[in-house]
Amino acid sequence: MNSDKFIKNKTALITLIAACLVVLISLGVRQTFGLFFMDLNKSLGVTNTEFGLAIGIQMLGWGFTGPIFGAIADKYGGHKAISLAFIFYILGVYFLYSGPNTGIFFQINLGLFIGIGLGGTAISIPMSIVGKHFPLSNRTIAMSIVTSVGSFGYFISPLYATYSLSNNGWVETLYIFSIFLIIGFVIAFFVRSPSLNQSPEKPSDQTTLGSLKEAFRNKSYILLTAGFFVCGFHITLVGTHVPMYVVDRGLEGWTAAMILSLVGFFNIFGSLTSGFLSAKMSKKIILSAIYFLRGVSIILFISLPPSNISAFIFGASFGFLWLSTVPATVGIVAHLFGTKFLGLLYGIVFLSHQVGSFFGAYLGGLFHDLYGSYDYAWYLAIALSIFAGIIHLPIIEKPVNRLLTS
C-alpha cells in the first residue's frame, strides 16, 4: 500500500493530522484528572465519593452528548461539532480552577462541562470524521493512527501533570491545560468532513431516523453496543482510581503517574496493532481477545505482591489493550452500515461505553469509601472481562442488505 493510495486527497491528509492533534490534546488533559484528587481533597475538601461522582457525571456527559455531536458532525461538518465542544471543555477547566468550584459547582465543572466537551473533542467524533475519508480496505488503519497519536497525549500528560502539580500547584497546572485546549479549539477548524466527490462511498438517501431503525434492528450492533459498556468501565476505573489504589498498597505517588504514562505509551502500539489486524482479520475476534486479556492483566495486578515492577507491567500490558478496542469497534459499525451516519451510530455505541465509565468511576470510589479498598471493583472488572469476551463472538461482520444491493 503506497501513500498515493492511502491518502486520497489534501483534505483527507489535513483532516487526519488535525484530528490526531485534537485527540492528543483532549485525551491528554482528560487522562490527568485522577492525579488531581489529592490536591482537590486538600484545597476544596472533595471526598473520594464526590470525586468519583464528578468523573462519573463527566463520563455520562461525554456519552450522552456524543451522539448529538455525531449528528451535528454528520449534517454540518466535523469542524463545527468539535469547535462547539471545545468551548464547553475550556469553560469547565476554567471554572474548575477559578471558581465557583465547590459543592454542586465542582460537579458541574469537572463533571458536566468537561463531559460535554469530551463528547465532541475526544476520540469518537474526530475518528468518525477521519473514517469518512477512507475506504474499507484501510479505514481501521487510518483510525488507529488517530488513536495512537492521542495515546501519546496519555503518555506525556501524566508526567507533565505530576511535575507541574509538585512545582506549580493544581491551579497553575489547570491554567496551562486551558491554554492547550484553546489551541485545540483552533485546530478543530481543520477537521473537515469529505465533500460528496471526495467520499469513498456512493451517495445515500437514507435519513437519520432510517439509520437508527436499521441499526437497532441489527443484533450485531446491539451486541457491540453492550460489549463496549465493559471497555468504559475498565478504562475509567483504572484511569480514575489506580493513583489511589497504588498508594493504598504502599507505593509512592510517582508510581501512579508512571502507570498512566505507560498506559499511554503502550497504547500507541496497541492501537496501531489493532488497526492493522482489523484490516486483515475478523474484528470481533480481536475484540474478544482484548477483553479476555484485560481480565488476565487485572488478575495479575491485584494478585501479585505490590511493587513498582508489577505496577509497571500492569501499566504496559493494560496500556497495550487500552484503546485498541476502538479501531475494531468503529470499523465494525462502518462495515455494517457505511459511513454516512458513522458519527451518530458510533456515538450511540460510545454512549454505552460512557455508561460503563460512570459505573467504573462511581463504584470505584463508593466501594473504597464503604469497604476501605478497591477489591470489589476489581472483581467486578474481571467478571465484565469474561462477559465482554463472550458477547462479541456471535457478532456477524456483514454489511446490511442496503449496502449489498446498492
Amino acid at 239: G
pLDDT band at 258 (very low <50, low <70, confident <90, very high): confident
What pLDDT, on the 0 to 100 scale, is given for residue 236? Answer: 86
CA angle 36, 146, 138 (to 5 degrees): 155
What pLDDT, on the 0 to 100 scale, is given for residue 116? Answer: 96
- Give the residue among 26, 47, 37, 68 at the shortest CA–CA distance from 347: 68
pLDDT at 219 over 80: yes
pLDDT at 406 over 60: no
pLDDT band at 112 (very low <50, low <70, confident <90, very high): very high
Q: How far apart are CA 278 and CA 282, in angstroms?
A: 6
Q: How far apart are CA 358 and CA 376, in angstroms?
A: 16
**Burial call 301-317: b when 16+ CB within 10 Å, e when fewer:** bbeeebeeebbebbbbb
Residues contacting residue 178 through CB under 8 Å, at least 6 positions apart = 90, 93, 94, 97
pLDDT at 254 over 90: no
* Residue 207, φ and ψ in degrees, nearest 5: -90, 165
pLDDT at 238 over 50: yes
pLDDT band at 2 (very low <50, low <70, confident <90, very high): very low
Kindly state the average pLDDT of the residues 307-329: 91
- Give the residue among 142, 255, 237 at the shortest CA–CA distance from 194: 142
Helices (H) and strands (E) in the chain, counts: 19, 0
Assess contact for 384 and 234: CB atoms under 8 A. Answer: yes
Domain over 7-196+208-405 is classified CATH 3.40.50.880: no
User: Which of 127-141, 161-175, 364-378 is the least confident region?
Assistant: 127-141
What residues does each domain of the chain span?
Answer: 7-196+208-405
Cis before residue 203, ω within 30 degrees of 0?
no
The chain-wide mean pLDDT, for the chain, equals 88
Assess contact for 111 and 145: CB atoms under 8 A. Answer: no
When mean pLDDT is compared over 129-143, 184-198, 221-235, 340-354, the highest value belongs to: 221-235
Kindly state the average pLDDT of the residues 44-68: 87
| Structure-derived torsion over alpha carbons of residues 127, 128, 134, 139, reported in degrees to the nearest 10 | 70
pLDDT per position as a tens digit, 265-299: 898 898 889 888 988 889 999 999 999 999 999 99
What pLDDT, on the 0 to 100 scale, is given for residue 1? Answer: 39
Q: What is the pTM of this model?
A: 0.79
